[in-house]
Amino acid sequence: MGSSFGHLFRIHTWGESHGGGVGVVIDGCPPRIPLGEADIQVELERRRPGQSRLTSPRQEEDRAEILSGVFEGQTLGTPILILVRTKDARPEAYEHLRNVYRPSHADYTYEAKYGIRDWQGGGRASARETVGRVAAGAVARSVLKLAGVDRIVGFVSRIHTVEAKVDPLDVTREQVEAQLTRCPDEEASEEMVRRIDEARKRGDSLGGAVTCVAHGVPPGWGEPVFDKLEADLAKGLLSLPACKGFEIGSGFEGTQLTGIEHNDPYFMEEGRVRTRSNRSGGVQGGISNGEAIVLRAGFKPTATIRLEQETVTTEGEATRLEASGRHDPCVLPRAVPMVEAMVALVLCDHMLRQRALSH
C-alpha cells in the first residue's frame, strides 16, 4: 500500500537497489499529452549517480523504456509503465552487511516490519527507488503545461552550514545546472564543494536543504482540511529518502513574527488579486493563491559512512561497523530533481482534481 501516491494522477513505484530494475506505473494521465522517452531521460540524467566526484561512483545509464500507455508520441489515457533496467549492481559489496544493522539506516526497521530485508545496498529503502518518481515527475510536467505551469525550479540552498544567498524567485535551471552542487550561488557552491570533499575523504557525510519554486500555479488548487496543498506537498517531500524536514513560505522563521508582520497584504494588478509579500508561500487555507509556491526540504547526512560506528548484529550482539559500498557523501545535488518531481506530481494531481470540480 505504501508504494502508491496521488489520487487522480496516481503513481506506483517498484524495485530494489540491486534488483533487475526499477520503475513506475502511472495511472490517470490524460490522453493526447505529447510524451517520449527523451522527455523522461532528461530528468533521469539529473538524478543518476556517477555525475561527479560529489556523488556516488555507481555507474548507471538509467535509460527509460516506456512499455505502455504511449502511442505515436502521445499518451493514450491508459496506464503508463516506465522501466529502467539496473546495469551496475554489485550486491557482493554489501555481503558484510548481511547480519548487521547500519546506524540510522532502514535495516532494522524494515526487518522489524516485514521479518525479512534486502541487505543489498538498502533494498527498497535505497534512493534508487526515486528513479520511478523522477520518471513520473517528467510526465507530470508535461501535463502541467496545459495549465501554464512550465517552471518548477529546485536548487541546493544549504549544505552543512553554508547558505546560498539568492532570491529563490530569480533562480533559473541554467544557473542551477552550471554548478556541481546545484547551488546557484557560485561563491557558496565553491565552499560547499570543499566541505563535501573533506567529508568524503574522512569517510563522513553532510546534509542540507533544497529550495523549490513552482511558477505559474493558478489560484484555486488544493483541498480544504486534510488534502490541503501544503499538506500533500509535505507528504510527498517527506516520503523522499533522507528527507527529515519541510517548510513552506516563511516556515519556522515566520513563528517569530507578529500577525501584522507576517500577513500578506492584497492588491489588484491588471484585474488579478495579488499579494505584496509571499510569506504564505503561495498557499492560503490549503489552496493556492496564484503566487509562486516556495518551499524547502531538509535532508539529513547520508546514513552509510566509512567511519567506525557502534551497532549490533541481527542476533543482538554488540559490534563495530565500518560500512563500505558506493554512497553519496552528500545527497543534496541529486536530491534537486527528486524534489522537483514530487512537487510536479502533487501539483498535477491537484490540477486534475480542480478540473474535475470545475467541470
Residue-level pLDDT at 95 = 81
Measuring CA to CA, which residue among 27, 57, 62, 60 is closest to residue 44? 62
Residue-level pLDDT at 315 = 92
Q: Which residues of the chain have pLDDT under 70?
A: 1, 49-53, 55-60, 89, 91, 324-326, 359
**To 10 degrees, the CA torsion angle through 164, 255, 259, 157?**
10
Q: At what angle do helices 37-47 and 130-144 cross, to 10 degrees?
A: 130
Owner of C-alpha cell 500577525: 259
C-alpha cell at 289: 493563491
CB under 8 Å to 34, separation ≥6 — which residues? 73, 74, 142
C-alpha cell at 61: 545509464
CATH fold of 4-358 reads Chorismate synthase, AroC fold (3.60.150)
Instruction: HSE, CB side, 13 Å, CA atoms: give it for residue 128.
Output: 31
**To 10 degrees, the CA torsion angle through 207, 123, 64, 24?**
-100
Residue-level pLDDT at 158 = 98
Residue 244 CA, chain-centre distance (Å), reads 12
